[in-house]
């Protein structure tokens, strides 16, 4: 770097300041000077030095600085590893492929800077988020309920409804398809059943799905009906307009199949792993 600062202080300054625009411009100028010198050297060999002397007098700045790419190639490693490629460093800056590679190197540098800023200022973004589960009882059977304000309706899987003894109340006239990240068949609806949250009982209706990733989702319809508030500061779910509260479960309180990491890793290759659940945001029911 010291050698580069002596030979080409402007290029050295652009490397130290990470000024990619100036760095590219200086490389183009060096490339142009190199082409001019190569052309003049060929003329010298052909015995026409007078033309070079004439051009030197007309454009002294083009010949005032020595062309030395070795120090630049050494110092440019401090800018970004992508620029350490000699092919890219000495490529014609007007070449389309070289421009594309330079653009990609700049883009990757911006991505790396953004990642480093996130590590410093927003490290929580790289941690695994624990979803919101609470203990509930449906028809006297305990279960871990997933609280999801993004689900249009409260969902219960057919297997869970059978375990809770509710299939005898299933109204099969309400069939349809639940769509979200994926989709699942709606086999019917249970119009009302007792739901125990904390020490209190509330009437609740359920949409029954044939297959569901999570056996019970406490959706927006019941959250609104019972005036629930998701309090992330206190880590509780308030019910009845703030009259009662139940705590959200910690990761240690959840069975293994409900852990976000296990669910994503165990998903088959054909499924979308961007979500640990099937978000049933839209329900289409067909009355028969």
Q: State yes or no: is 113 an active-site residue.
A: no
Per-residue b/e over 173-189, b at no fewer than 16 CB within 10 Å? ebbbebebbeebebbbb
In the numeric block, the tokens 């639940």 are attached to 178
Task: Give the integer Cα–Cα distance in Å for 196 and 58.
Answer: 92
Task: Give the integer Cα–Cα distance in Å for 99 and 246.
Answer: 59
E strand residue ranges, 96-169? 133-138, 141-147, 155-157
Q: Which of 92, 148, 221, 272 is catalytic?
A: 148
Q: In this structure, are residues 239 and 198 in contact, taking their beta carbons and an 8 Å threshold?
A: yes
Q: Which helix (H) or strand (E) holds 64?
A: helix 61-64
Phi, psi for residue 110 in degrees, rounded to 5: -65, -40
Task: Give the integer Cα–Cα distance in Å for 15 and 234.
Answer: 49
Q: In this structure, are residues 34 and 26 in contact, taking their beta carbons and an 8 Å threshold?
A: no
Q: Which helix (H) or strand (E) holds 105?
A: helix 96-121
Q: Can you count the helices (H) and strands (E) in the chain?
A: 11, 11
Task: Give the integer Cα–Cα distance in Å for 133 and 153.
Answer: 16
Per DSSP, what are the bridge partners of residue 216?
156
List the catalytic residues: 148
């Amino acid at each position: 770097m010291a050698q580069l600062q002596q030979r080409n202080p402007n290029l050295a300054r652009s490397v130290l300041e990470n000024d990619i625009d100036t760095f590219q411009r200086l490389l183009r100028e060096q490339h142009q000077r190199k082409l001019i010198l190569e052309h003049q050297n060929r003329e010298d060999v052909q015995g026409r030095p007078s033309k070079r002397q004439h051009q030197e007098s007309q454009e002294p700045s083009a010949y005032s600085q020595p062309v030395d790419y070795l120090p630049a190639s050494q110092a440019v490693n401090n800018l970004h590893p992508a620029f350490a490629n000699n092919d890219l460093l000495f490529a014609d800056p007007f070449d389309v492929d070289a421009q594309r590679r330079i653009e990609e190197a700049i883009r990757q540098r911006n991505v790396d800077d953004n990642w480093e800023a996130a590590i410093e200022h927003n490290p929580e973004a790289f941690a695994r988020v624990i979803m919101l589960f609470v203990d509930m009882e449906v028809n006297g059977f305990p279960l871990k309920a997933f609280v999801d304000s993004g689900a249009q309706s409260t969902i219960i899987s057919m297997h869970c409804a059978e375990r809770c003894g509710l299939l005898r109340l299933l109204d099969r006239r309400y069939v349809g398809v639940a769509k979200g990240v994926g989709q699942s068949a709606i086999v019917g609806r249970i119009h009302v059943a007792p739901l125990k949250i904390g020490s209190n009982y509330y009437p609740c209706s359920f949409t029954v799905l044939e297959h569901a990733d999570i056996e019970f989702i406490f959706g927006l319809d019941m959250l609104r009906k019972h005036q629930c508030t998701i309090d992330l500061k206190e880590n509780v779910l308030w019910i009845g307009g703030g009259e009662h509260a139940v705590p959200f479960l910690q990761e240690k309180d959840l069975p293994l199949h409900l852990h976000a990491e296990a669910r994503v890793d165990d998903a088959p290759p054909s499924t979308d792993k961007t979500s640990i659940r099937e978000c049933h945001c839209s329900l289409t029911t067909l009355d028969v």
